Structure 1
Amino acid sequence: MPNGSLEGWLHPDTTDEAEQKQLNLHQRVTILLDVAYALDYVHCHGHAPIVHCDVKPSNVLLDADMVAHVGDIGLARILAEEKYGAGNTLSTCGDIYSYGILVLETVTGKRPINSKFREGLSLREYVELGLCERTMEVVDTRLQFNLENRISADPRSCKTRIDSLVLLLRLGLSCSLELPLSRMPTHVIIKELHAIRESLERMQNMKLENTVM
């Protein structure tokens, strides 16, 4: 794909790449929505549910228009209808868990295993603590920088963005709950991401209207 993978945008190899590869909040939400639609399709709209089994940033490929496509189906499995939900250890809930971790990685800019975490702390636990104590500290520094530059000039816009970041982190946590049946189904994920994106777009449209006036 012309724009590589989400992995390359979240974790650039060099400083030069980091300066060039900047995903804003709206782009991140849109990419996550594209992935959610892909999972919804393979989980719910075929002859039998298909489990991807390897949802991660390196398998989220970005085309020339930054539309996300879920690639690498080498581990994918079709769930036999008669076994699905009846003791089969493989289920679509596993993809939802991986998707939740993908959401957290996309918002925090940190890999699931990071040397900066305290010993034994996972990305999920890191985000949980952040939501309780210091939400903005767990957000990707590139998103933090953009917010800091906007606070004095446009406090209302910043509040919308911060609220969106909190909702995204909570979405990631909900998708990666320990109990599989407690995780969000894809249609609910899509609904929540649409609401977040629409909120960001309304805010952007209001800014444009105020500029024209």
Structure 2
Amino acid sequence: MPKGSLHDWLYASEGTSRLNYIQITNILADVASALDYLHNHCVPIVVHGDLKPSNILLDDEMVAHVGDFGLARFLGTTSYQNSSTGIRGTIGYAAPEYGLGSDMTTNGDVYSFGMLLLEVMTRKKPTDDVFNEGYSLHKFASMALPDHVMDVIDLNILNIYQGVCEADAQKIEECLASTIKIGVSCSVDSPSLRMNMEKVVHELHRIQNTLPNIEV
């Protein structure tokens, strides 16, 4: 893709342009919409199984596309096989139940999306050295809710909003908290408690509709 991968933008060298919050929200909404289509509108249902920043590709218009379906599986077909053992390359993004031998499911993709979202918003990888002994990216983000979200956000994404009025700053902080809540809700350990991708799309569209109305 002309603009490379999401990973390229997240970890670009110092001094190069970084993604701002509007761009990030648009990218997350693109990815969520793609997963919603795969999970809820495809027959048979498709589980991607390898969602991570390097597999999110950006075109000339900075529209995000989900790539690399090498681990993808179709649900509800006779050709489906238990393939959780093929997730070795997605350490940090793979749902915890896969480590227990569970089948690949759409809930596993939701978990991966949640971790991807939190990585994009905090610029901390799920495999960062700081996360060990029960301390994780999910816990790092969830502990910041609801009043300390600004402490965990990668401030590079806020450069477009420098100097906004107090009222708009409050709106931005509320949107940031809502975004982090989505990531936390998607990445809980229990598959049945994770947010449905259809709701994720709805919430991200609500945030998208709020941000352009803020004076910059």
Q: Which category describes the TM-score, using the shorter chain as reference length?
A: 0.7 to 0.9
Runs of 4+ in 1 over 6 A off after TM superposition: none
Normalising by structure 2, we get a TM-score of 0.83
Who is 1:24 aligned against?
20
Equivalent of 1:160 in 171, 181, 204: 171
Gap change, CA 1:20 and 1:46, over 3 Å in 2: same
Give the Cα separation in 2 of the matches to 1:128 and 1:7.
23
Q: Would you say the 8 A contact 2:146–2:177 is kept in 1?
A: no
Give the Cα separation in 1 of the matches to 2:167 and 2:76.
50
Equivalent of 2:143 in 125, 129, 134: 129
Q: CA deviation at 1:191?
A: 0.5
**What amino acid is aligned across from residue 139 of structure 1 in structure 2?**
I
User: Structure 2 stretches of 5 or more lacking a match?
Assistant: 81-101
Residue correspondences, number: 195
Gap change, CA 1:54 and 1:118, over 3 Å in 2: closer
Who is 1:211 aligned against?
none
Give the Cα separation in 2 of the matches to 1:52 and 1:69.
13
User: Structure 1 stretches of 5 or more lacking a match?
Assistant: 209-213
Normalising by structure 1, we get a TM-score of 0.84
Alignment pair present for 1:108 and 2:104: no
| SS of residue paired to 2:145 | helix
Gap change, CA 1:177 and 1:32, over 3 Å in 2: same
Q: Would you say the 8 A contact 1:136–1:144 is kept in 2?
A: no
Give the Cα separation in 2 of the matches to 1:80 and 1:63.
32
Q: CA RMSD in A?
A: 2.2
Give the Cα separation in 2 of the matches to 1:118 and 1:47.
39
Percent identity, please: 40
| SS of residue paired to 1:78 | strand
Who is 1:49 aligned against?
45
Bigger share in helix: 1
- Mapping of residues 3-152 of structure 1, within 5 Å: 3-12=3-12, 14-15=13-14, 19-80=15-76, 89-117=103-131, 120-131=134-145, 134-143=148-157, 149-150=162-163
Who is 1:2 aligned against?
2
